[in-house]
Structure 1
Amino acid sequence: MSDAAAMPFAQSVRSAVPSVLMPLRVRDLVLRFGEITVLDHLSLDLGPRGCTMIMGPNGAGKSLLLKLLHGLMQPTAGQIDWGGQGPTDVTARQALVFQKPVLLRRSVRANIEFVLKARCKRPGESAEFLEHVGLSHKADQPARLLSGGEAQRLSLARALATDPEVLFLDEPTASLDPASVLAIERIVSDARNRGVRIIFVTHDVGQARRMADDVVFMHRGKAAEHSRADDFFPDPQSSAARDFLNGRIVV
């Protein structure tokens, strides 16, 4: 990725302003599929700034939690409060990037322009977003021809083009090569520094150490632990978190 990806860009992008949607308050959140409970009376409070890493073993409910917070799913019970509003009231002021990029079958540039038009912005701003993620030289290429890392950078550019107050990331660097991982991290860190609230699901302990301001550790559908990153990594309080960080299977 070019050095431009780490430099300031479009003035229309959120800049050093904390989200008015925050704080987030989650109370007794329950999600059931038939007789199976996947989120079990989960409660959580997140503040207005920074990057929260959500960690935990497979099946802990991390990705489902993101979808509930973003209003893509409805909980069985419990409350989600975004600064006094519900998830479906604030979805348009948030963005979600999945592990597998979902792109339009159009050019790289057209993928950005589609979002800008939908948000009543100038299509010409697409060049600035593409420069920011190091894809200017791919602007006229079909998006389907991008590599995995390039496609994820385009997904991030599209998300940022919506000027989100909150950016959800669901394992966006899984299966990417180390250089692509670091490129994605730089883009996300830049968004965080501009005031975008980041909520990031990852299994990558090294990534979490590099990026987290605070960590939510999920286990068996609950928030087993929530603490500052500086406290969590050297001294996790739950046995499940200790096992996870030490590379042991968590059950």
Structure 2
Amino acid sequence: MAEALLTLDALRYDAGERTLIRDVSLRIEAGRRTLILGPNGAGKSVLMRLMHGLIEPSAGRILWNGGSGRPAQAMVFQRPVMLRRSVLDNVIYALDLAGVPSAARRARALDVLERVGLTALADRPARVLTGGEQQRAALARAWALRPRVLFLDEPTASLDPGAAAEVERLIRVIADEGCSIVMVTHHLGQARRLADDIVFVDAGRITEHTPVTEFFASPRSAEAGNYLRGELSWT
């Protein structure tokens, strides 16, 4: 069995009197591209924020590397937050926060900007970039941290097809360098293209965790089957 990067054990998350995540147990293997699918309001983004540590569970445990400690990780959101500074300085600032020595920051930032095709825009204010350019800048900022796992919350939802295709290409490149990918998407075609494994979430529960080919060929849960047929559940 492959190495477990992340294990969720009986996870629950409450927001006031509402339970958004219910008794979720999940094992994510290192080096895989895991995509999270499910209807609106199912709890996909909440689950990802729990994994990343942005919010704390109400009950249950989150174990990294079998309990040996949280690896380097980064997260990219649907709408990237760009600081009021240049594209280059956005990346350098993230490296500064991560404790990267000052002598290494500029070279590392320029390297990732070249890899995402933004060298020519390095000195431009990040907030004037197009949506696709901003998302590539956000990927560069995350990639520069050299994460072992990268979380992505619908990173192409607001992009045109060309910009979305470029973001998908970069995700593949990052994954091919050994970074595990955990990503929320509503786009079934994107899930087919990018995923090794699918996690299906419905009403705060995981109803299916299976290899991508099996998920689309023969979903095991009624909820996933209904979703693929367009018979959405509403929560």
Q: Could you list the per-position Cα deviations for residues 154-193 of structure 1 after superposition, in whole angstroms to 9, with x for gaps in the alignment?
A: 0000000111000000000002100011100011100111
For 2:43, the equivalent position in structure 1 comes to: 61
Distance 1:111 1:228 in 2: 36
Secondary structure at the counterpart of residue 164 of structure 2: helix
Distance 1:154 1:85 in 2: 33
Aligned length: 229
1:75 aligns with 2:66: no
RMSD: 1.6
1:107 aligns with 2:86: yes
For 1:205, the equivalent position in structure 2 comes to: 188
Distance 1:75 1:122 in 2: 34
For 2:223, the equivalent position in structure 1 comes to: 240
Give, in angstroms, the shift of residue 124 of structure 1. 2.2
For 1:141, the equivalent position in structure 2 comes to: 124
Distance 1:125 1:238 in 2: 45
Distance 1:155 1:161 in 2: 10
Give, in angstroms, the shift of residue 54 of structure 1. 0.4
Give, in angstroms, the shift of residue 112 of structure 1. 1.4
Secondary structure at the counterpart of residue 192 of structure 2: helix
Alignment-mate amino acid for residue 162 of structure 2? A
| Matching residue within 70, 78, 90 for 2:70 | 90
Distance 2:85 2:212 in 1: 40
Secondary structure at the counterpart of residue 153 of structure 1: helix
- On the 8 A contact 2:74/2:149 being kept in 1, the answer is yes
- On the 8 A contact 1:54/1:202 being kept in 2, the answer is yes
Gaps of 5+ in 1: 1-18
Secondary structure at the counterpart of residue 48 of structure 2: helix
Question: Could you state the TM-score of these two structures normalised by the residue count of structure 1?
Answer: 0.87
Give, in angstroms, the shift of residue 109 of structure 1. 1.1
Distance 2:27 2:10 in 1: 12
Give, in angstroms, the shift of residue 224 of structure 1. 0.4
Give, in angstroms, the shift of residue 136 of structure 1. 1.0
Percent identity reads 46
Q: Could you list the per-position Cα deviations for residues 3-59 of structure 1 after superposition, in whole angstroms to 9, with x for gaps in the alignment?
A: xxxxxxxxxxxxxxxx98x43111110011122111010111111121000000111
- On the 8 A contact 2:7/2:66 being kept in 1, the answer is no
Distance 1:117 1:33 in 2: 33
Distance 1:31 1:221 in 2: 9
Distance 1:83 1:107 in 2: 36
1:10-21 map, 5 Å: none
Secondary structure at the counterpart of residue 70 of structure 2: helix
- On the 8 A contact 1:30/1:42 being kept in 2, the answer is yes
- On the 8 A contact 2:12/2:23 being kept in 1, the answer is yes
